[in-house]
Amino acid sequence: MTAERLRALRLTCLIEMIYATGLRVSELVALPASAAERSARMLVVRGKGARQDRLPLPAEVGEAIAAYLKRGRPASDRREVFLRARAPFRPIASGTVSSTVRRACRRAGVAEVGAHRLRHTLACEMVSAQVPLVQIAQVLRHHSLQTTAIYARVDVDQLRALAQPWPGGVR
């Protein structure tokens, strides 16, 4: 398999994991290969404050992890899922995740965004699907609903569709 194909497997896995699970970049880079419990369809994540959470593992994310671990990840005794593409095979840095996502955006011909935008997009899509804010906070692992509300900004076009006309005419 070519080096380009190996990088593509890693990129697919990175993007799928952040976008589908709402992982923070720091959580992603520290994620051990043992965290994915594919049979239970769960992902064990160590988050802020040594907190440990079990998240649902969507099938496509489990498949992306398996493909990367089998065919894309360099052979190493490191426990982290994501390793540098070149020796020495250490865990990737947080900055590598964001720059990798930006590079993928450029190649796809779309506006460049960092990895954190994928987490934000998940929250916005959950708001659009009318998922309660409390459940969004659980997925994003926020302690405060105020923090979740920042991520889950209101869609102005949807709000316009719901707004009642101003009494007495247009203002």
Catalytic annotation present for 84? no
Active-site residue, selected from the candidate residues 41, 78, 116, 141: 116
Catalytic annotation present for 70? no
CA distances from 93 to 28, 100, 146 (A): 10, 11, 29
Active-site residue, selected from the candidate residues 10, 24, 73, 117: 24
Active-site residue, selected from the candidate residues 10, 73, 117, 142: 142
3-state secondary structure of 132: coil
- Give the dihedral sign, CA 106/108/112/117: negative
What residues contact 83, with CB distance under 8 A and at least 6 apart? 73, 74, 76, 89, 90, 91, 92
Active-site residue, selected from the candidate residues 48, 54, 71, 153: 48
Catalytic annotation present for 24? yes
What residues contact 69, with CB distance under 8 A and at least 6 apart? 33, 81
**Spatial contact of 109 and 96, defined as CB atoms under 8 Å apart:** no
Catalytic annotation present for 71? no
Catalytic annotation present for 120? no
Catalytic annotation present for 48? yes
Residues serving a catalytic function are: 24, 48, 116, 119, 142, 151
